[in-house]
Amino acid sequence: MGQNPEPETQHRREGTQPKPQAAAPATQPFGAESFQPSDQTILRWLGMAGFMINVRGTVLMVDPVLGGFDMPLLIDLPISPTTVPRLDAVLVTHSDNDHYSVPTCLDILPVTTEYHSTPYVASLMESEKMPAHGHAIGDTFQVGSAHVTVTPADHAWQNADPQPGQRVFRDEDACGFWIETPDGTIWAPGDSRLIPEHHLTMPAPDALLFDFSDSEWHFGLRGAVDMANAYPTADLLLHHWGSVDAPGFPPFNGNPADLYPVVVNSERIRVLAPGEPFRLRSH
């Protein structure tokens, strides 16, 4: 099974009251028609940290959680795993169960051609009989019209409070994905603390799947803003917010309102509803 998300600590430890959660816009359900070929690349936020990307008919899902999560949700999920007609690949950034959802990945197994992640996560997938491919940081692979490069992450939070018998987690157990399409480049950096020499020095993506919160094991709000402003033309597709009913848990509690005063060219902040289509455009 995948690991649970990093533990809720700060508010419980200090006895403080969490701030109210920002809520995502009302879900826009979608169905089989959204999996058809077209002459463009369309992204849809699935809620949580998940996205579906239809690259002119090559259909990927990144970190999909379409049911079976162990915490209450604030949103309706935009599609049921049993109604997904086909997937060319599922890309998973790391083993936390808000990214690697074993129930979802098993439900969509009959219609999914391949699964891609790090070697550690791929080993978990293989134990569940998924056709998994494990990649080192820097590896590349092709899925139909999408060319994917595996990018580094710093998210080995488990080592800060190890449980008896727990394995030692390595930085390369988590990753991001740089996805090149005929219509532009998408960067899904995954959950990570900021790595300035990497996260602030990439070529400019056209769309950045944007994780922002006060969590110490994520970019942090300041780090996320630094990253956004390093790529001032990239569309910022917000995620990891407004989905989970956990007011004391910083990773799930980013508020888009915090971004507008500090992000350069704030009109590129995209507060999508779960399931809402977004067309990728090269800048």
The CA–CA distances, whole Å, from 169 to 67, 113, 172, 261 equal 26, 28, 8, 37
Q: Is residue 71 part of a domain?
A: yes
Residue 167: per-residue pLDDT: 95
Q: Is residue 46 part of a domain?
A: yes
Rg (CA), the chain: 17
Domain interval for residue 18: 10-279
Confidence grade of residue 137 (pLDDT, cut at 50, 70, 90): very high
Q: Is residue 81 part of a domain?
A: yes
CATH value at residue 237: 3.60.15.10
Q: Is residue 3 part of a domain?
A: no
Q: Is residue 203 part of a domain?
A: yes
Residue 96: per-residue pLDDT: 97
DSSP state of 180: E
Q: Is residue 5 part of a domain?
A: no
Alpha-carbon distance of 58 to 151, in angstroms, equals 21
Residue 20: per-residue pLDDT: 81
What pTM value is reported for the model?
Answer: 0.94
Q: Is residue 1 part of a domain?
A: no
Residue 3: per-residue pLDDT: 62
Spell out the alpha helix ranges (H) of the chain: 10-14, 102-107, 119-127, 196-199, 220-230
Q: Across-strand partners of 112?
A: 87
For residue 110, give the 3-state DSSP assignment: helix
- pLDDT over threshold 50, residue 162: yes
pLDDT tens for 188-221 read 999 999 999 999 999 999 999 999 998 999 999 9
- pLDDT over threshold 60, residue 138: yes
Q: Is residue 82 part of a domain?
A: yes
The pLDDT mean for the chain works out to 94
3-state helix/strand/coil string of 140-157: EEEECCEEEEEEECCCCH
Contacts 24+ apart (CB under 8 A), 36-40: 40/183, 40/279, 40/280
Into how many domains does the chain fold? 1
Alpha-carbon distance of 125 to 102, in angstroms, equals 8
Whether 221 contacts 212, CB under 8 Å: yes
- pLDDT over threshold 60, residue 9: no
- pLDDT over threshold 70, residue 163: yes
pLDDT tens for 239-259 read 999 999 999 899 999 999 999
Contacts 24+ apart (CB under 8 A), 77-81: 77/27, 77/46, 77/47, 77/274, 78/27, 78/28, 78/29, 78/30, 78/44, 78/46, 78/47, 78/274, 78/275, 79/29, 79/30, 79/31, 79/46, 79/52, 79/275, 81/107, 81/108
* 236 alpha-carbon distance from chain centroid: 13
Length of the chain: 283
In degrees and rounded to multiples of 5, residue 218 shows phi and psi of -120, -170
